[in-house]
């Protein structure tokens, strides 16, 4: 079993200057992708913070089958009394099976689910404006060149359901090369 936890806080709070707000996202000097803000200029907001965690395990069912289980979550917070408030949370889950064959080949099949909710740049008394639920299935094949280097091809079927953003279904094709030094 493997677990991780991180807690990060902005070193410098978001400051609404002539270079940093929603209207100036393309401007020279913009540096706040998550803790952006809008409103009157020359305003300093409270420092934002994020937390995330994950737990994962692999369980050898019987050779050559391995079961993967993972759950993760995260939060982003910046408490303000105006539209610059951020209070987001998400939880993600993963269940997969790996079938190893021919020494260097692996076939993977997995189901994923993610759920998010909260407020993004919305007053704390307003209705939550960021709710979504994503689900998906993937199947992939991996080839191991060495213990640290591999190539893969994966196909995924995803559904995105949301209160705010447009809903969609998507078929995704991924390929890649993993190289560790």
CA distance linking residue 78 with residue 35, whole number of Å: 8
**pLDDT of 142-181, one tens digit each?**
999 998 999 999 999 999 999 778 899 999 999 999 998 8
**pLDDT of 70-86, one tens digit each?**
999 999 999 998 888 99
Above pLDDT 90, what percent of the chain? 63
Helix (H, G, I), strand (E, B) or coil at 23: helix
What is the sign, positive or negative, of the torsion defined by CA atoms of 105, 144, 135, 60? positive
In the predicted structure, residue 21 carries a pLDDT above the cut 70: no
CA distance linking residue 96 with residue 20, whole number of Å: 42
Per-domain residue ranges for the chain? 2-179
For residue 116, the model assigns a pLDDT of: 93
What pTM does this model have? Answer: 0.78
In the predicted structure, residue 31 carries a pLDDT above the cut 70: no
Distances (CA, A) of 98 to 95, 105, 108: 10, 10, 5
In the predicted structure, residue 118 carries a pLDDT above the cut 80: yes
For residue 14, the model assigns a pLDDT of: 80
What is the sign, positive or negative, of the torsion defined by CA atoms of 137, 34, 72, 65? positive
Please choose, from the candidates 151, 161, 69, the residue with its C-alpha nearest in 3D space to the C-alpha of residue 110. 69
Higher pLDDT: 138 or 31? It is 138
In the predicted structure, residue 34 carries a pLDDT above the cut 80: no
For residue 75, the model assigns a pLDDT of: 96
pLDDT bin (cut points 50, 70, 90) of residue 19 is low
């Amino acid at each position: 079993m493997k677990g991780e936890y991180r807690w990060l806080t902005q070193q410098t709070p978001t400051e609404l200057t002539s270079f940093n707000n929603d209207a100036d996202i393309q401007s020279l000097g913009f540096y706040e992708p998550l803790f952006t803000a809008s409103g009157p200029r020359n305003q300093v907001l409270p420092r934002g913070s994020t937390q995330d965690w994950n737990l994962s395990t692999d369980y050898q069912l019987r050779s050559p089958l391995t079961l993967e289980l993972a759950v993760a979550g995260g939060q982003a917070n910046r408490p303000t009394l105006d539209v610059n408030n951020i209070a987001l949370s998400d939880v993600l889950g993963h269940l997969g099976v790996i079938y190893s064959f021919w020494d260097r080949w692996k076939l993977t099949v997995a189901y994923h689910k993610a759920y998010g909710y909260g407020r993004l740049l919305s007053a704390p008394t307003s209705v939550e404006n960021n709710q979504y639920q994503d689900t998906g299935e993937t199947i992939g094949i991996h080839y191991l060149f060495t213990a640290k280097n591999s190539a893969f091809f994966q196909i995924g079927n995803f559904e995105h359901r949301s209160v705010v953003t447009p809903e969609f279904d998507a078929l995704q094709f991924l390929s890649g090369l993993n190289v560790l030094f």
